Amino acid sequence: MPIRTQVVTVVFAGVPEPPATAELAGLEVVAHTPDEREAVWHATALRPDVLVLPVHPPGLDGLAVTREVAARVPGTAILVLTPPGDGELVIAAMLAGARGVLSRSAGHDDLVRFIRGVAAGAVVFGERAADRLYGLLAASQPMRAFPRLTSREHEVLGLLAGGLEIPAVARRLGLAPKTVRNVVSSIHAKAGTDDREVLLAQARNAGLGHHS
C-alpha cells in the first residue's frame, strides 16, 4: 500500500491568485485573501502549516503581519514574497520572523517548492536573497536591528528609545523639529507599525537607546 504524502495546508494573503498547481503538489489552500492585513485573522483561526504573503514598500504592512503571526501562531511557517533585488527587505523579513523569502517574480514551481520547504522546517531563500546574506557575512557586517533604516533614522530612533522627545532630539542633532517628525514618520513606515510605544519597545529590545 503506497504511503500517502502529508498534505500541507496553506493560507495565501495579498497575492492575486494561488498557483493552479498547488493541489497537485500536495498543498491544500485553506484560505485566500487579497489583503495581507487579513492574514492574522486567517492564521489565528485556521492554524495553517504555511502562510504566504508579500512585503513591499512603501507601507510594508507585510512586515507587521509577519511579526504578529510569528508571535501569535508560532506553528505556522511564514513565506514572504519580496520585490526582485531588494536585499535589505530580505533581512527585514527574516528578522520579523519569516522562515523563507522568495522573489515575487519566481515561478509557481519555485513557490510550491519553497512552501514545502518551510513546512518541513527548513529556512529557505531565493538565489538573490542568499547572495545578499552571504555578502553580508563575508563582509563581516552585523545585521543591524531595523535594517531598512538609514543611518540618520537609526540615530533618531536610538535617541527616542533612550527617552528623548522630538524637540530634544532636534536640539541634539541640530535639526528642525519638523525634520525630526518627518524622519520619525519614515521610521514608522519602514518598521511597519504606527504605534509609537510598540516601535520604541522593539527598538529597546534590539539594544537601541541604552547609550543615548
Report whether 97 contacts 63 (CB < 8 A): no
Model pLDDT for residues 5-53, shown as the tens digit of each residue? 578 999 999 887 776 655 556 888 888 888 877 889 999 999 999 999 9
190 with 60: CB under 8 angstroms?
Answer: yes
Q: How far is CA 173 from CA 61, 155, 180, in A?
A: 30, 9, 9
Return the H-helix or E-strand segment holding 182: helix 177-191
Whether the Cβ atoms of residue 49 and residue 77 lie closer than 8 Å to each other: yes
Q: What does the pLDDT look like over 85-139, one tens digit per residue?
A: 666 777 788 888 899 998 888 888 888 889 999 998 888 876 666 666 655 554 4
**The pLDDT of residue 145 is above 90:** no
The label of the residue with cell 485553506 reads: 30
- CA 4, CA 195: separation in Å to the nearest integer? 46
Top-confidence residue, 207 or 212? 207
Whether the Cβ atoms of residue 49 and residue 10 lie closer than 8 Å to each other: yes
pTM score of the predicted model: 0.61
Q: Are the C-beta atoms of residues 100 and 123 closer than 8 Å to each other?
A: yes
